[in-house]
Structures are given as C-alpha cells and as structure tokens.
Amino acid sequence: VWAVVEVGGQTLLTTCQGSKAAKMLAPALRSDWVRAIFVGAANVFIPIFFFLNSGNQSVRKWRGTNDTPGRYTKSAQRVADEIDTWNWCSILTKVALLGELFFMLQIGFSKVTYIFLSWLCEFLSDFDFGLVLFLVFAVGYCMFMLPPVPGVPVYIFSGIVITDQARRNLGDNGFVTGIIIAIAVGFFNKLLACLGQYCIGFFLGKKVKVQQLIAVDSVPTKAIEMILNRPGLNLGKVAILIGGPDWPTSVTCGILKLNIPQMLLGTMPVIFILSPCVLAGAFIARQGEDAMWLTLANFATIAAAVCQIAAGLTAAFCIMKTIQEHGDELAEPRPEHAEIRELTRKGEHSRRSYIDVTKWSNLTLCDKVILIGCVGFHLVAGFMFVMMAEACFLPFSVDKSIKAPISEGGLGGNPLSIVVAPWGHIALCLFFIAVALHILHCCIMSQRAKNELKYSQNPAETAEERRASQTTTGSKPSAKE
C-alpha cells in the first residue's frame, strides 16, 4: 500500500513489466495456492464485503448517484467478475490442505514434540554425563530426519538437558561449559543430519517422478541450483541452506546432486541461528531461580527468530536476483530433463480430466456441501486453535515436567491432559470431521476423474454405461452427452 501511494501504481506496473523475476512471479501470484491463502485469511470478510457493498449500491441507486446499474459498485463488480473466474473447487481444496498443514506443524507435531522432549529430559536426569551427550545427539539426529520437525525445538532441548547435566557434573563452570558443549552437539548434529537428508534426496532423486515433484526443470529450482553450486561461502548460498526449512532444503540438495563438501560449508553459519536457541534452552532451565533467566531466554528466542527470518528473506531476494540476471539461460530446456518433460506431457491429459470434473459448475449439490462443510470446519477449528489457544491447550513447554501439577505448568502425569475440555475437544473434533470430509471429497473426485479419463480413451462406450458409472459417483452428465 505504501509503495503504491508513494511511488504510484503505474510506475510499479511499468517496472514489473521490465523485470524477469516479476514476470516469473506473476503466474505464481495468480495461482490457486495464493488465492487459497487469501480466502483462508479473509474467509467471512469476503461475503461481508459484498453484503455491505450491495447495501452501498442500493443507497446510491436511491439517491441517483450510482455509477453502474448492477448489484454492486463498479470497483466491487470488477472484484466479483474476477473471482467468478476462479476454480473454486481447487481453491477450497487447497484451503483445507493449508489448514491441515497448519495443524500438523503448529499443533500436532509441536505439542507432541514438546511432550516427548520434556519426558526425555526427565528420563535422562539420572544418567552419566557422557551417556547423556550420546543420547541427546542420537535423539536430535532422529528428530532432524523427520520431515515435519524443525530444528529449533531440538536446539532448545539440547540447551536444557546438556547445560542442566553439566551444572550437576562439572562444578562451578558447568553452566558455561554446558552451553559450549550443547552448541557443539547441535552444530555437528545439524551437519550430520544434512548428510542423512542429502542421502534421502540422492536416492529418491533417481526417480523421474520425484524430480518432477520438486520441478527440477523449472526456472526457480534452476536458480536455486545455480546459487548452491557456487564455490565457497556467498550470501545467497548460505541464506538458502540455513534460512530454508531443514528437511526439504537438504533433501532437495540430494535430488539436485550438489557437491556435499560445498553444501556442508554453506551450512556452517547455521551456528549463528542455533546458538541463540541453545542459550534460550539453557536460560529456560534456570528460570525457576530468578526472573532474569526467563527474560534472557525470551531475548535469545527473539534473536534466533530474527536471524531465521533475515536468512529466509535474503534467500528469496537472492533467488529473485538470479532469475532477473540469468532468466533466459535458466529458461532454456536441458537434455537431462527430457524424461521429466515427457512425463509431464503424458500426465497433462489426466490433469485436464481432473480439472474438468472439478469445475464448480460440474459439481453436484452434495459435492458442494461436502467441500464447503470441510472448509468451514477447518476455518472454525483454526480460529479456535489460534484465538482460543489457552482455552484449547495447556501452555506446556520443554522445561516443565509431565508429572508436575497443572497449576505448576505440568500435565498432572497425563500427557493427554494438554487438551483442555471442552473447547480443546470441540476444536479437535471439528478438525478431524473436516479431514474426513476432505478425504471423502478427494475420493469422489478421483474416481470421477478416472471415469472421465476412461471415457475419453474409449469413446465407443455407450451413454447409458457412462450414466450408470456417473450415478455411482454422483456426478453430473457432461454437455456432450
């Protein structure tokens, strides 16, 4: 908004038209994923906007100042005409997927990870210090190898356990020594995990379908590959390796078969992100002694978040800059991607069949009720998870004991008590009902697309046979019948 006001919309449009990066981003900004993010964020405000605008237009008609004879004002009518062209089935399905991804990362794995790490902290409290280091390293490595688990809770866990054990076993300097050891353990754990994730990508990347999945023949992926192939330490390379999600970044490096030593070299500056996390864990372990430690833990957490966000933004900037400078070169097809292009071409017919059967105008009333119900339940559940978080879940953290009373930040010995009745149970029920409706919708659409594809490959099939097949899946007959 500031850029449009200060610079001018026409100036921005002219500048973007001459930018290769902007031309690459334009289709992405109009994709169903971006529209799904908008719909998921705006949700009820979209019908509210049109309702209020309709009232505004009615008043204008009564006063004789309306600029169009339609139901909405001129600007709102343009918006209505635009969204009328959207593939609403695809958009609403992606809203459901985003809701499930949010639950998995922020609710499901987040709560489970903290409960597991808290139990492990307590379990390791009586072990020998050397054995604790080995177990912390092993557990951290295993968690790094799980796609949904981010590195931050692993680093915080290392800081809590190792510094606490060091204070008990290494005397007066145990706290500082424990922090240094925890940083070293987290650092080497990250590098080893990168190797493991690289191997996963290397072997999976031999399959053409996997290469197609991450779009290795697309311009953005080629730009990332170009940046990561640069020798030594450079800003873009480091930003991508430490600013991107842990598991997807290293696995992608394996799929692209990048140089391993260069990948590890570019990952080494991650120490500047993991160190504040380890410090936060170390300070959290001592928060019961003085309020100062909790304040320091908050500062360390903020510092880690700022570093992570800065790395992510820098990575995005470097990718866009590379596209701007080498767009024509990156857009040229490569011989090694011929199989991917052929696989994409073969799958185009199936994709078009699925798009055709999932057009909003081709859906039955039952289909629309299922899909709208799925999205509605997801939005309500997501609202409760975010805006009513304290009413749905207990505020449990890694440094708390599961056995501690709930009044002291624990779970009263029952991990399931982290879900607060009744609102937590209601939110979870709504979420799982939405997931069930989403699965039902996908099954119906997939079966219908298979029938459509079968019919297109066998046009001799009688109309009666096809109608019988469509009756079983509840689809509407097409216009050509």
DSSP string, 44-87: THHHHHHHHHHHHHHHHHHHT--SSSSSS-HHHHHHHHHHHTS-
Q: How far apart are CA 437 and CA 385, in angstroms?
A: 19
Among residues 358, 383, 370, the alpha carbon closest in space to that of 43 is found at: 383
Print burial letters for 338-373: b (CB count within 10 Å at least 16), e (below 16): eebeeeeeeeeeeeebbeebbebebbeeebeebbeb
Among residues 197, 322, 182, 213, the alpha carbon closest in space to that of 248 is found at: 197
Q: How far apart are CA 183 and CA 185, in angstroms?
A: 5
Query: Residue 419 phi/psi, 5° resolution?
Result: -85, 120
In DSSP notation, 125-151 reads GGS-HHHHHHHHHHHHHHHHTSTT--S
3-state secondary structure at position 393: strand
pLDDT of residue 116: 79
Q: Which two tokens stand for residue 450?
A: 């298979």
Q: How far apart are CA 377 and CA 132, in angstroms?
A: 44
Q: How far apart are CA 199 and CA 201, in angstroms?
A: 5
pLDDT of residue 160: 84
Side chain identity at residue 15, one-letter code: T
pTM of the predicted protein model: 0.71
- Tell me the CA distances in angstroms from 88 to 91, 300, 418, one per residue in order: 5, 43, 37
Would you write out the chain's pLDDT as a tens digit for each of its 481 residues? 445 445 555 565 566 666 665 666 666 677 888 889 988 888 888 889 889 989 988 888 888 888 788 888 888 888 888 888 888 999 999 999 999 988 887 777 678 877 877 887 778 777 888 888 898 899 889 888 887 677 888 888 888 888 888 887 887 788 899 999 999 999 999 999 999 999 998 998 888 888 877 778 888 888 888 998 888 888 889 999 988 888 888 888 888 888 899 999 999 999 998 999 899 888 877 766 677 887 888 888 888 888 888 988 899 888 888 888 888 888 888 888 888 888 877 777 778 888 888 888 888 999 999 999 999 999 999 999 988 888 989 888 766 788 888 888 888 888 888 898 899 999 999 999 999 999 999 999 988 888 877 776 655 444 445 445 555 455 555 444 4
Share of the chain residues as helix, strand and coil, in percent rounded to the nearest 5 = 80, 0, 20
Among residues 248, 348, 173, the alpha carbon closest in space to that of 240 is found at: 248
pLDDT of residue 1: 45
3-state secondary structure at position 419: strand
Beta bridge partners of 419: 393
State the number of CA atoms in the 13 A half-sphere of 215 facing the CB. 8
Q: Which two tokens stand for residue 412?
A: 């009263």
Query: Residue 393 phi/psi, 5° resolution?
Result: -135, 145
Q: How many CB atoms lie within 10 A of CB 208?
A: 16
288 Cβ contact list (under 8 Å, min separation 6): none
Q: How many CB atoms lie within 10 A of CB 329?
A: 10
- Tell me the CA distances in angstroms from 332 to 24, 204, 328, one per residue in order: 14, 25, 7
C-beta separation of 104 from 148 below 8 A: yes
C-beta separation of 142 from 189 below 8 A: no
Q: How many residues are given for the chain?
A: 481
- Tell me the CA distances in angstroms from 36 to 75, 104, 175, 380, one per residue in order: 22, 18, 48, 16
- Radius of gyration for the alpha carbons in the chain, expressed in angstroms and rounded: 27
197 Cβ contact list (under 8 Å, min separation 6): 144, 145, 246, 247, 250, 251, 253, 254
pLDDT of residue 464: 45
Q: Residue 54 CA to chain centroid, in angstroms?
A: 36
Question: Cα–Cα–Cα angle for 391, 392, 395, nearest 5°?
Answer: 80
Q: Largest Cα–Cα distance of the chain, in whole Å?
A: 86
In DSSP notation, 192-249 reads HHHHHHHHHHHHHTTSHHHHHHTTTTSHHHHHHHHHHTSSS--HHHHHHHHHS-HHHH
Cis peptide before 422 (omega within 30 of 0): yes
pLDDT of residue 427: 93
Stretch (H or E) spanning 310: helix 291-331
